Amino acid sequence: MVPERRGSLLALGALLTVTALGSWGCCSVRCCDQTAGLAVVSPTDAVSPDPIVISKKRHQEILWKLPAESTIQYVAITLGVNPVPFEGCETTEGVCRIACEGRLCSSGPISPSVMPPRDGIPYAYVFQRPEASSSDPGIRIDP
C-alpha cells in the first residue's frame, strides 16, 4: 500500500504533467495566440499624425471612446483598393461604416479576408457627425 503522503505527491505530479502537456498541446494548435487587445482611442479636436496600428495576428480591435457631449454617429473608413477591414462593417460606395452606440464605436474583429503585408495596410477614416465630419490620421493593420 502507498503511504498517504506519497499518493498525494503522485497525484500532484500527474496534475502538473497533464497541465504542462495540455498547455503545450494548446499552443501547437494556435489557441494560445489569443493575445487579443483593444486599441482604445479617444477622439479629440487635435489630430495626431500617427495612425492607429493594430495587428491581425494578435486579434486586436479598435474601440473609440467618445466624450459625453459627442455627436459622432459612426466611423467611416475609406476602402479604396483595400479589402473590407472589419467583420462588422456596413459597406456601401467604397466606405466601411462602423456605427457608434452608447458613446462607443467598436471595430470588431479584423476580417479574415485581410492579408496584410509586412508594412501593413493603411486606411483613412473620418468621424461622421450630423453637422459635419472630421478626419483622423488613419488606421494601419499589420500582420
List, for residues 50-77, the tens digit of each pLDDT value: 889 999 999 999 999 988 888 889 999 9
Distances (CA, A) of 24 to 12, 50, 59: 18, 38, 20
pLDDT of residue 28: 31
**pLDDT of 45:** 53
Strands 121-128 and 104-106, how do they pair?
unpaired
pLDDT given at position 80: 93
114 in the same domain as 46? yes
25-40, pLDDT tens digit by residue?
333 333 333 445 778 8
Q: Is 63 found in the same domain as 115? A: yes
Domain that holds residue 127: 38-142
Average pLDDT over residues 86-100: 94
